[in-house]
Structure 1
Amino acid sequence: MLRQYELVEKVKEYDPDADEALLNRAYVYTVQKHGSQKRASGDPYFSHPVEVAGLMTDLKLDQETIITALLHDTVEDTLATIEDVEHNFGPEVARLVDGVTKLSKIDAMPEDERAAENLRKFLLAMSEDIRVLLVKLADRLHNMRTLHFIKKPEKRQRIARETMEIYAPLAERVGMYEYMREMQALAFEQLEPEAYATITGRLEQIRNQDGGQVDAIALAIKQALSEADLNVEVSGREKQTYSIWRKMAERHVSFDQVSDIMAFRILCEDEIDCYRAMGVLHKTWQFIPGRFKDYISTPKNNGYRSLHTALMYENSMRVEVQIRTREMHRTNEFGLAAHWAYKQGERPDGQVGWLRDLIEIVDASHDAEELLEHTRMAIYQDRIFAFTPKGGLFPLPKGATPVDFAFAVHTDLGAHTVGAKINGRHMPLRTPLNNGDVVEIIKGGDAQPQLSWLGFVVTGKARAAIRRSVRLKERAEVAELGTKLFDEIAARLPTRIGKKATRAAIKRLGLEDEEALMYAIGAAKLDDREVMEALVPGSTANLAEEPDWPQQDRVISIKGLTAGVGFHLAECCHPVPGDRIVGLRKAGEGVEVHTIDCLQLASGIDADWLDLSWGRRSHGALGRMRVILYDRPGTLYEMAGIFAKNLANVMALEQVTRDTPFQTYEVELEVQDLAHLTRITSALRASDAVAQAERI
């Protein structure tokens, strides 16, 4: 553990103007506040914030960040308050400490919800000041270094999984590869102990049998480049255990079949030398096709820049080589932290764009599961690059489609997409993009995101925007249904209902506005009596209960027919009492009753059209619906429960398609009338099990 004077000296080495007294006060403050608290290792608790502060000095960060690291657990784990911190160390440190503190105080929630809420606060705090992220990553790294002291295996596994799924990818996303690699290695050891032990053992064997081979290859590379008058540094290393394991899993190969265990790094004076060095290597040793990547001309989203290539060395040995400048190397290893230290907190444009996208995802996410899903998509790195027709460059995950590309360019463009050209050719929107594709998006003025897009988009930003648009559209449809039902309810009251009565009802029901009232009615969250009582208190006192019609009891009468004329309800549109209807009468046939908006009416152009209406006590008919369920356990059961609760008899049920993540069903229901069918539709749309519900 760093002593007080050692920590101050480390800061003063790179920042002579740092406030020594303030740093000393922060060190003493954390020691006093944590007092006799102990960590799982038995060490004094204050050793942890001191070590986190030490990690921040390694990155040469400003004194406010160092002090935040020292104090980051005081508000959470001691009696100290944010007000105390602000009084002693100023508003900037208090804001940073508060940002880090908020990330860890959601312990009472279920694991997924807690993780999602943790992540939501993390992203919001990070967007305001990236130093919050830097302290949190250092905090997590030190906790991972001491994870083996925790006795409960399940707790170690939970922390390791969270590190692997969120914190290591976040470290990668801001270019802190040194942190990322160590987090992955430590988490891998806990999550896959047998695989970790096996790979570590095999690497140890290679090391013992190596006979200085890594040094020999590094020397050969350096000599070849020196002969070309290139002044470079060359270093060799084994690949990380987790990286080897992931490659084995992705390629379905054994350890012996992973041929590129060794990697070499070449540091050059400038960019031109990087390309010269690559040319020398490709001329000296055989280049492996498909393994060259130029991240200098097209950097990764996190600012990473380097040339990557792979060579066939002597004895058919494959080796990976990274070529970069010394400045690139410093930025690549510590990413945004290195940039912060030298640029006084200015963030590169790529980082600003990424943070903006993440905040948009946070705002659009509907629940914990969505937020975790979208954010994990957003922070994983395997990427391609696609271009706009004007040459704009957009990095996207592998497997991304034109819809993902459109949302990456701008949310509004994605929302109005109707088609796409890839390299000048019209292609389906579900077409996966390849590296270097030129994508032209075709817009439609009235177009809207389609639910079916969720079956092929891969970016968190696109999925979040599509789901938000679909939810808003469905909410508007439910509110529209609620408005019609509201008019029917109001017509049954003994007085005319005006705006004043509606406003009073909204207040009595504890709703926000008229739109919320209509949505609640349409979604069957309020029954008729509740609405009537809210509009006119006391109006339901003598109101008789509405009868529960027997489901098999159908009483259908049609006004507008000559006595004795037979009729039947059209199977194309399945009219139910309450629909506006017309009749088609052909010679020698009975009258066929259709809804006024039936698409099949055009086929009856040679028939006589009759203006019809339902008899006063008509009730009971077949209604047809198309319901799209999320493809997960229990959704079909929930749909059936909604039908049962609304006293709708299921006459037929057919699964039309099953296209992950959705199942589409067509259902034939015995319902009383249009209002009954409307309530069922609203209840389905309000269910978390249902992605879409519509009458057909």
Structure 2
Amino acid sequence: MPERPDNLRDRLLTLPMLAASGAPLRAALASLGDDVPADGREADVLLDTLTALGRLGADADVVATAIADAVPAWREPMQARLPAIAPLLEGLSAAHQVWSLHAEHVSEGNPEGLRRLLLALIRDLRLVLVLLARQLALMRAAARDEDGEARRALAALTRDIHAPLANRLGIWQLKWELEDLAFRFLQPETYKRIAGLLDDKRLGRERYIETVRIQLGEALSAQGVQGEVAGRPKHIYSIWKKMQRKQVPIGELYDLRAVRVLVDDVPACYAALGVVHALWTPIPSEFDDYIARPKHNDYRSLHTAVVGPDGKTLEVQIRTREMHEASELGVAAHWRYKESGGSQRSSSASAAALERRIEWMRRLLDAHTDPAREDGEALAGALGTELVEDRVFVLTPKGEIVDLPQGATPLDFAYHVHTMVGHRCRGAKVDGRIVPLDYVLRSGEHVEILTAKEAAPRRDWLVVANGFLASPRSREKVRSWFHKLDRARNLQAGRELLEKDLRRLGLLQADLAPVLSRFNVVTVDELYVLVALGDVGPNQIGRALLELERERTAPVEPAAPTLPLRTPRRAPKTGESDFHVVGVDNLLVQVARCCRPVPGEPIAGYLTRARGVSVHRRDCPAFLRLSAGHPQRVLPVEWGRASGGHESDLVVEAVDRRHLLKDLSNVIAQEDVHVLSIQSETMGLSRVRLKLRVRVGDYGQLARLLGKLDDTPGVDAARRG
């Protein structure tokens, strides 16, 4: 790439302008550098691409992306000069991934899934214009080349991906030509037959359209309606689709003879419609008002069929000039209105239409009907579905596309493939590397599930905090599996699961009866069953027990004090956390090192002789011993607003194996917990005990960390120190 002047962006913008005006674009391209092709097939493709982008009103970043795509040597220098095109260039790489998948699986026929994947991978929607414009240029170049398999493959890609996208965006100008060229390459005999039938009657049809144009123009003028009447070109693929859909021969189609009326505003559209219906007899079943009820892609126009001169059927389309440009250029037309500084009314209307189209485009890929239908019915079910960015699109080992909710894991993928695949899942590979089952999938990744011979789902998959399942549908499949087990097994499993969690939190001896009503159960056994079925998480019960303890120990204020009471003030901040010592001021407050409570746990203070108030967990053995000997030193303490992390001691007992410390460190890092110190001691028989001091944000983070550590392979127990 040659030395880049400061006005590179302006120079890029002139290229499509030159193309649209018919100026000598080759010379302008040649002046940019020796790497740019000035003649030959590559030059023709680039010229056609820039011409199409010019007609679509593309900006300089889009033009730069198109050139960088056509001239690989310019990719890095162009990105260095225009950093804003980085998302567009990344999208090009994603698009090439979709093209490769189409080439590998074209015979299997899943174009809808590929379109979903394409738009999920593209972060900047302007890239769609580059893809459509370049594909049209490649198709035009293929029309000039000899026939071959490469041309058929290009046409199949156009039919499956590009033409439907142009249709969904409402860019009819590109849609018609893409469809006709693909139809010509894929079904040449049918194309030639329909083209021949049209050519046989072309001269008579052109004379007839001229007669209609004159008559309708005079009638509009007589009624004071200012309008422009012109013949409407017919496209061979559109004719063939209507013949297939209506099961009629070409001679029975109403719109082979068609004219279009362009007027200034919406009232003039309906005035022109009245003139048409007064001049010729309308066919009632062939009237569509897409102004009052726009299509789902925001297409607006009046369509009517009448019995015209000589008793021949005639289609008439009536629309404003703004509607016409919008129908020809789709989203790009609205960009052009917005950038040209038109009237405020027109600009705001265009902006609103653009927002509707972008929202619709992000939703359209959830439709499961035929995308090639011209009447817009393919979008009927799409408007109530989730946005594309709320979904991820991953690939099976065979290249099939699977649509999952955002945050989905390999386990969600397994249950989506088949219920038994999920039940038998024991591991997963993503892009060839083994990942944990709670790994969050991203669009475009290849997922392979590792299964066991026997189905054996785990109950901790149902615990939301563990992050194994993001899809409610997957969670219900696991829950259904355990529902089928007998009550005794569920009771035992629920008891073990809950006791394991409460033991880690130091709540194993807590009385469960007071919290039963919070979970709408009468007995502890019923609570165990809910835990086993995943309807209640062990962490929810632990949190309920802590909240109950806080309620019990909260100080009771007098209902009607007879004397003004001194308002207790919060103690000064300490180095580790904030506490509120009720009724006492200006005392040094510190966290007891024997138990190191974290926010959310019941706490109490003990007034020491020399170090102020020491804050303990209420179930701390040291606190219980001290309070029994000196109950007068016990002070009520409440959690204040935390000023930072809180230290906590953990103990992990595990098999002494290779990479144990690495695996534990990965778990701790995933939970965003800071490790302050680690000590290890041998327990004999290849076993080890690790003592960790960590800094956590609150009780919830500590509970999640203990659960993840306890689930690490080789770990026997993970608990508070």
TM-score of the two chains, using structure 1 as the length reference: 0.50
Deviation string 1:227-254 (CA, Å, 9 cap, x unpaired) is 1111110011342111111111112222
- 1:47 maps to 44
Whole-Å separation in 2 of the counterparts to 1:297 and 1:184: 28
Whole-Å separation in 2 of the counterparts to 1:119 and 1:471: 22
Whole-Å separation in 2 of the counterparts to 1:514 and 1:98: 24
Whole-Å separation in 2 of the counterparts to 1:477 and 1:121: 24
Whole-Å separation in 1 of the counterparts to 2:179 and 2:113: 23
Q: Please tell me whether the aligned partners of residues 205 and 257 of structure 2 are also in contact (alpha carbons under 8 angstroms).
A: no
Whole-Å separation in 2 of the counterparts to 1:212 and 1:156: 37
The aligned amino acid for 2:96 is S
Q: Which moved more, 1:117-126 or 1:326-335?
A: 117-126
- 2:167 maps to 172
- 1:11 maps to 17
- 1:96 maps to 88
RMSD of aligned C-alpha atoms? 5.1
Give the alignment partner of residue 271 of structure 2, picking from 271, 276, 288: 276
- 2:214 maps to 219
Q: Percent identity?
A: 26
Q: 1:70 to 1:28 in 2, by over 3 A?
A: farther
Deviation string 1:631-683 (CA, Å, 9 cap, x unpaired) is xxxxxxxxxxxxxxxxxxxxxxxxxxxxxxxxxxxxxxxxxxxxxxxxxxxxx
Whole-Å separation in 2 of the counterparts to 1:113 and 1:265: 41
The aligned amino acid for 2:436 is L
Whole-Å separation in 2 of the counterparts to 1:514 and 1:122: 23
User: Given the alignment of the two structures, is residue 511 of structure 1 paired with residue 441 of structure 2, yes or no?
Assistant: no
User: Given the alignment of the two structures, is residue 242 of structure 1 paired with residue 237 of structure 2, yes or no?
Assistant: yes
User: Given the alignment of the two structures, is residue 383 of structure 1 paired with residue 379 of structure 2, yes or no?
Assistant: no
Whole-Å separation in 1 of the counterparts to 2:303 and 2:187: 29
Whole-Å separation in 1 of the counterparts to 2:101 and 2:161: 18
Tell me the matched-pair count: 417
Whole-Å separation in 1 of the counterparts to 2:367 and 2:229: 40
Structure 2, unpaired ranges of 5+? 1-9, 341-346, 391-401, 427-432, 442-446, 459-483, 491-721
Q: 1:228 to 1:464 in 2, by over 3 A?
A: farther
- 1:589 maps to none
- 1:128 maps to 124
The aligned amino acid for 1:32 is D
Deviation string 1:357-409 (CA, Å, 9 cap, x unpaired) is 665687xxxxxxxxxx957756755335xxxxxxxxxxx646x5xxx775489
Whole-Å separation in 2 of the counterparts to 1:218 and 1:101: 49
Shift of 1:216: 0.2
The aligned amino acid for 1:511 is P
Shift of 1:511: 2.8
Give the alignment partner of residue 103 of structure 2, picking from 98, 111, 125: 111
Shift of 1:33: 5.4
- 1:602 maps to none
The aligned amino acid for 2:290 is Y
User: Given the alignment of the two structures, is residue 336 of structure 1 paired with residue 342 of structure 2, yes or no?
Assistant: no
Deviation string 1:254-309 (CA, Å, 9 cap, x unpaired) is 22233431111001121111111111211221111122111222222333221111
Q: 1:181 to 1:361 in 2, by over 3 A?
A: closer
Give the alignment partner of residue 208 of structure 1, picking from 203, 209, 220: 203
Q: 1:409 to 1:284 in 2, by over 3 A?
A: farther
- 2:35 maps to 32
TM-score of the two chains, using structure 2 as the length reference: 0.48
Shift of 1:528: 11
Shift of 1:92: 1.6
Q: Please tell me whether the aligned partners of residues 91 and 123 of structure 2 are also in contact (alpha carbons under 8 angstroms).
A: no
The aligned amino acid for 2:327 is N
Could you say what secondary structure the match of 1:162 adopts? helix
- 2:452 maps to 525
Q: 1:280 to 1:129 in 2, by over 3 A?
A: same
- 2:71 maps to 74
Whole-Å separation in 1 of the counterparts to 2:114 and 2:485: 50
- 1:664 maps to none
Whole-Å separation in 2 of the counterparts to 1:106 and 1:27: 32
Deviation string 1:475-502 (CA, Å, 9 cap, x unpaired) is 798799679x9xxxxxxxxxxxxxxxxx
Q: Please tell me whether the aligned partners of residues 183 and 191 of structure 2 are also in contact (alpha carbons under 8 angstroms).
A: yes
Structure 1, unpaired ranges of 5+? 16-22, 363-372, 385-395, 413-461, 486-507, 532-573, 581-696
Shift of 1:322: 0.7
Shift of 1:157: 1.8
* Pairing 1:404-443 to 2, within 5 Å after superposition: 407=385
Moved over 6 A (4+): 4-7, 12-15, 23-26, 114-118, 408-412, 462-466, 475-483, 526-529
Whole-Å separation in 1 of the counterparts to 2:53 and 2:206: 38
Deviation string 1:123-148 (CA, Å, 9 cap, x unpaired) is 14655232x11121111111111113
- 1:83 maps to 76
- 1:185 maps to 180
Whole-Å separation in 1 of the counterparts to 2:437 and 2:12: 58
Q: 1:112 to 1:246 in 2, by over 3 A?
A: same
Whole-Å separation in 2 of the counterparts to 1:56 and 1:49: 11
Deviation string 1:50-103 (CA, Å, 9 cap, x unpaired) is 33112222334323333332222223xxx45x432222x311234334433442
Could you say what secondary structure the match of 1:214 adopts? helix
Could you say what secondary structure the match of 2:296 adopts? coil
- 2:617 maps to none
Q: Please tell me whether the aligned partners of residues 158 and 182 of structure 2 are also in contact (alpha carbons under 8 angstroms).
A: yes
The aligned amino acid for 1:96 is L
